[in-house]
Amino acid sequence: MSYKGNWSKRGEWLELTPGKVLLSQPDREQAAAKWLLETFGMPEKLYRKLRHEQGIQWRGDRLRLVLFPYRDYGIEPRWQELHVLHEDEFCLVVNKPAGMAVHPDQESEETTLNHVVAAYYEAEGIHTAVRHIHRLDKDTTGPVLYAKNEYAQLKLDEAMREKKIVRIYAAIVQGRVGQELKVIDLPIGKDRYHSSRRRVSLTGQAAITHILSSEVYPRASLLNISLETGRTHQIRVHLSHMGHPLLGDSLYGGPALFSRQALHGERLLFHHPLTGERLEVQAPWPQDMMELRELIIEGS
């Protein structure tokens, strides 16, 4: 569902103009509830919360919702330069650099992308929790999507579950990948002998990787890949299992021709959580990946 009418953000309120049909109903509160749940597509969990907190109001012909309440970031702001690829009142997409995790773990005090996004919000006067919708491996570059309010988070999380958010990757792998390799459908589980590794396992979770296109050179191949599922290390595990580990991916047997795994998120495609507009966000290749591509081409 999506909203095609006029809307505006006024402080913590989202103001909508649902139209004369709704205004003409004898019980506008009941009509608003039905419209929000069935036409507007508000998650029932959020509707009940807003109703309990008196966050749904009429003002003349406008229906007002508290979708932008003041919220703590939930993480310490730490300033670093941030490459913003897309931003509006509901979504933020940033280009994650290599060597930076998306979120902290209990064993490290390193600055993560979430720390940096919190600092960006602070600098821009945005008071909302830092909510990433998906992740990338620490050494993978590319776009990461953030929800700027709870409504957007619920809608985008639902889109992730329904596989409506598409991520396209560029991977440079060892060897010549045959044109016949289009889909890798192999379950992935933990490696009992190595806590950081995953492996193809019959008892693992379903995992499907699509190879959309390939450029094949004598010693390496450049692949464009999309994921139908989002398992940990999925691309790395699948390609290594097929005999084509990513260059630089020492964890999965890749040749040490690169300082990290040669994997970059090129494009992110999703529908805007409010308007339903189809958005395509592109992330430029990092310099090291461009240099590696030239190296494998020259090496041919």
Which residue numbers are catalytic? 137
List Cα–Cα distances, 293 to 33, 105, 289, in angstroms: 55, 33, 6
Residues 243, 191: Cα–Cα separation, whole Å = 18
Label residue 229 exposed, middle or buried (CB < 10 Å: 0-12, 13-18, 19+): middle
One-letter identity of residue 12: E
Residue with tokens 């390609």: 239
Residue with tokens 């720390």: 115
Q: Are 199 and 209 in contact (CB under 8 A)?
A: no
Residues 246, 290: Cα–Cα separation, whole Å = 15
Which among 220, 251, 279 has a CA at the least distance from the CA of 87?
279
According to DSSP H, which parts of the chain are helical?
Answer: 20-23, 28-38, 44-52, 113-124, 150-161, 234-241, 287-298
Q: Are 55 and 66 in contact (CB under 8 A)?
A: yes
Which among 50, 55, 64, 134 has a CA at the least distance from the CA of 92?
134
Q: Are 115 and 102 in contact (CB under 8 A)?
A: no
Residue with tokens 């821009």: 124
Phi and psi, residue 32, nearest 5°:
-65, -40
| DSSP designation for 97 | P
Q: Is 83 helix (H, G, I), strand (E, B) or coil?
A: coil
